[in-house]
Amino acid sequence: MNWLTNFVRPKIQQLVRPKDVPDNLWVKCPSCEQMVFHRELEKNLHVCTHCGHHMRIAVKKRLELLFDDGKYKRVELPRVAEDPLRFKDLKSYSSRLRDARSKTGEHDAIIVATGTIGGVETVVAAFDFAFMGGSMGMAVGEGIVTAAELAVVQDAPLVVVPASGGARMQEGALSLMQMARTTVAVDKVKEKGLPYIVLLTDPTTGGVTASFAMLGDIHVAEAGAVIGFAGARVIESTIRQKLPEGFQKAEYLREHGMVDIVATRQELPGVLGNILNLLRHRGPAGQVVPLRSRFPAE
């Protein structure tokens, strides 16, 4: 009996038992809760194939999507003082920075890169939401300033892609100062007559929204992105009223004049390319054909 129980039965169970399936083969959509095969999701640029919900993507994937042929050159950013306030809550700020750097492989929550979009040489500053929620501290402010100065030097448009929860609380007033610094930097780009385009992605909130993110010449938003200053629950508790359906979503803001264009992730490279070409190449959109005179020459 022991031979049957200990040897034969396990062998039979091993033959008929289904093989273990890795947990990451299927992804559950946070909107419709449908399961999407991971390869199909990647092929569709992390947009749900059932409901069209745009899931968040890594900052490097975002840059590959926007730049022509996915090619770009990263710009080295100046280093800033770390943990200037020696802040500590449940963990020290320095520990949180180490954890975020280990998790993302990035030094901070912003990447500045150059390349062509629609054939137009462009400077792009993109936020990494995986790095402490894309929060804006001194390093991020320095990144925006560097991107703006580079755009002026290279006579190139500036595209900023925010994905942020707002100012970084661990840096206190120093993080709030970046709102003013980035605003001044953007003004220098505009004074040079260069296009400044903001691509609003999910989420764009807090001090980022209250500064450079709403100063673009043109605001393009990714479909379904949450854009605002305070959270919806905070606003409802303050005004003690129920907010409209879809409040702070990209489509709602377009209807109310705060966003110019809402595009799907697949459409974004073409939309940005068209905008940049129109703003940089102000010639006629088509071939100029001379009109015949209605009255023949005598």
User: 263: number of CA atoms within 13 Å, CB side?
Assistant: 19
What are residue 293's DSSP bridge partners?
A: none
238 is annotated as contributing to ligand binding? no
For 57-278, the fitting CATH number among 3.40.640.10, 3.90.226.10, 3.30.110.60, 3.10.20.70 is 3.90.226.10
| pLDDT single digits (tens) 79-119 | 999 999 999 999 999 999 999 999 999 999 999 999 999 99
80 is annotated as contributing to ligand binding? no
What predicted TM-score, i.e. pTM, was given to this entire model? 0.86
Each domain of the chain, given as residue ranges in start order, spans: 22-55, 57-278
**pLDDT tens digits, the chain, 298 residues: what are they?**
566 666 656 666 666 565 555 557 899 999 999 999 999 999 999 999 999 999 999 999 999 999 999 999 999 999 999 999 999 999 999 999 999 999 999 999 999 999 999 999 999 999 999 999 999 999 999 999 999 999 999 999 999 999 999 999 999 999 999 999 999 999 999 999 999 999 999 999 999 999 999 999 999 999 999 999 998 899 999 999 999 989 999 999 999 999 999 999 999 999 999 999 999 987 665 666 666 655 555 5
Q: 162, 172 in Cβ contact below 8 A?
A: no
Q: 146, 75 in Cβ contact below 8 A?
A: yes
285 burial (CB, 10 Å; 0-12 / 13-18 / 19+) is exposed
E strand or H helix at 15: helix 9-16
C-alpha to C-alpha distance for 210 and 183, rounded to whole angstroms: 10
51 is annotated as contributing to ligand binding? yes
48 is annotated as contributing to ligand binding? yes
What pLDDT was estimated at residue 88? 94
Query: Which residue has tokens 């764009």?
Result: 204
